[in-house]
Amino acid sequence: MATPPAGPRRPIFPGSQLFTDVVCLSHLRWDFVFQRPQHLMTRWARSHRVFFVEEPIDSEGPARLDVHTRQQGVQVVVPRFPLSIARPDAASLQAQLLRRFFERNHISDYLLWYYTPMAVEFTREMTPRAVVYDCMDELSAFAGAPAEIPLRERELLRRAQVVFTGGLALYEHKRNCHENVHPFPSSVDVAHFARARVRQADPADQRYIPHPRLGFFGVIDERLDVRLLARLAALRPHWQLVMIGPTVKIDPAVLPRAANIHYLGPKRYDELPAYLAGWDVALLPFARNEATRFISPTKTPEYLAAGKPVVSTSIRDVVRPYGARGLARIADTAEGFAAAIELAMAEDPIERQRDADAFLTQTSWDGTWTRMHRLVLAAVSQSEPLAVDRDVVSEPGVA
């Protein structure tokens, strides 16, 4: 097992010395899709040691933690042990592994940053400087979500000093659950995606797909409106639908198949601009269901930064602000979606891009992290390291 450096980096932000390390507890894997957790944790790693703790992976042999170094020196910690063991035993084992890991790596003055409430099960005994809950999604609404998520979230909210939400709709849903809740909708690295505005060679697997190309990148799961996609492909057989991303939590057999639908699989974050450069319109073909009720798609500002017109279904955090400001066209039927795409392809790109660029000056991951950083430091400076809450531990129904 690789051992991270024992000492902290030199603090470069005022107040950073209030704690040495950031321990992030995530349901998302670091190498899956580069999104909100990766953007924020790589920025924390500029001034702190960052340990990104993933969910366990089933493995033979003795229980262990594998550690891998990723961007900006982030240490990705992957528990490996038999997942067949009962949940209370699994939580106890993971807590024991992390306790030893903390001791070996001198992690004693730290911030706990949660993306999943389920991590409460193995972190109750920890005594961080403070707790941050970055609620980027309503996980309880996702396919296959543990039934215990609402209970664990209530417990996490009692311990958290500050709560962030991944969008405005989710903020409106959570703002009465905690006294210190702040909305942070999806942001963007404009310079990264602006590379798509420059003419460049198509990637090999997209090179021979004809135009017009209508593209989507992201996780392909229960949030995708498969009926809309199938109907759109049938209505406009000369349009090519390019779908980029991993397929998870749904049977690939349910995905519509047609000569003009192209599933290119997952791509690295640094490959996305090259694919976007070859698209005519960027799509957000999300279903309207419980899983999409509170989402704030990160790809919306990324599409705009790439210089592409955007057509979306009526996801609340796309309708407001993007639809309201004329930065995205909104439609929910296949016929309406097709009409919106035709308008997008016929519009003046110079005027659209000018409006999009003016909007994008207000958002960046650097700016988002800076505002979060201030709120975290304010919360930490007003709190003492947390003690174990024995009343919470003994609460009926809490393992």
Give the 3-state secondary structure of residue 224. Answer: strand
Tell me which of 212-226, 233-247, 374-388 is least confident.
Answer: 374-388
Nearest partner of 90 among 67, 115, 122, 116, judged by Cα: 122
Residues 196, 176 share a domain? no
Q: 174: which 2 tokens?
A: 């959570």
Classify residue 182: in a domain, yes or no.
yes
| Tens-place pLDDT, residues 303-319 | 999 999 999 999 999 99
Residues 372, 351 share a domain? no
Tell me which of 69-73, 136-140, 264-268, 331-335 is least confident.
Answer: 136-140
- Largest interatomic CA distance in the chain: 64
Nearest partner of 308 among 292, 286, 284, 285, judged by Cα: 284
The separation between CA 111 and the C-alpha centre of its own chain, rounded to angstroms, equals 20
Residues 179, 145 share a domain? yes
pLDDT confidence of residue 382: 79
Q: Are 206 and 283 in contact (CB under 8 A)?
A: no
Number of neighbours of residue 301 by Cβ within 10 angstroms:
26
| pTM of the complete model | 0.87
Residue range 229-258: mean pLDDT, rounded: 96
Classify residue 398: in a domain, yes or no.
no
For the cut 80, the answer to whether the pLDDT of residue 88 exceeds it is no
Please name every residue paired with 283 in a beta bridge, in sequence order, or none if there are none: 311
- pLDDT, greater one: 313 or 91: 313
If you ran DSSP here, which 8-state letter would residue 220 be given? B
Classify residue 304: in a domain, yes or no.
yes
Tell me which of 137-146, 343-352, 361-370 is least confident.
Answer: 137-146
Residue range 316-332: mean pLDDT, rounded: 95
For the cut 70, the answer to whether the pLDDT of residue 399 exceeds it is no
Q: 376: domain range?
A: 16-187+368-393
| Tens-place pLDDT, residues 40-80 | 999 999 999 999 999 999 888 888 999 999 999 999 999 99
Measuring CA to CA, how many Å separate 131 from each of 142, 165, 254, 383? 24, 15, 40, 10
Q: What angle do CA 94, 96, 102 make, to 5 degrees?
A: 100
Task: Share the mean pLDDT of the chain.
Answer: 89
Q: Provide the percentage of residues in the chain whose pLDDT is more than 90.
A: 78
Residues 44, 182 share a domain? yes
Residues 43, 24 share a domain? yes
Residues 205, 150 share a domain? no
For the cut 90, the answer to whether the pLDDT of residue 239 exceeds it is yes
| Tens-place pLDDT, residues 128-137 | 999 999 999 8
Q: Give the pLDDT band of residue 383 (cuts 50, 70, 90).
A: low
**Number of compact structural domains in the chain:** 2
For the cut 80, the answer to whether the pLDDT of residue 18 exceeds it is no
Q: Give the pLDDT band of residue 171 (cuts 50, 70, 90).
A: very high
HSE-up (13 A, CA, CB side) for residue 165: 22
Q: At what angle do helices 365-381 and 36-44 cross, to 10 degrees?
A: 60
Q: Give the pLDDT band of residue 396 (cuts 50, 70, 90).
A: very low
Classify residue 11: in a domain, yes or no.
no
How far apart are alpha carbons 53 and 164 in whole angstroms? 19
Residues 332, 195 share a domain? yes
Residues 82, 30 share a domain? yes
Residue range 140-152: mean pLDDT, rounded: 85
Residues 64, 123 share a domain? yes
Classify residue 399: in a domain, yes or no.
no
Q: Cis link prior to 14 (omega < 30° from 0)?
A: no
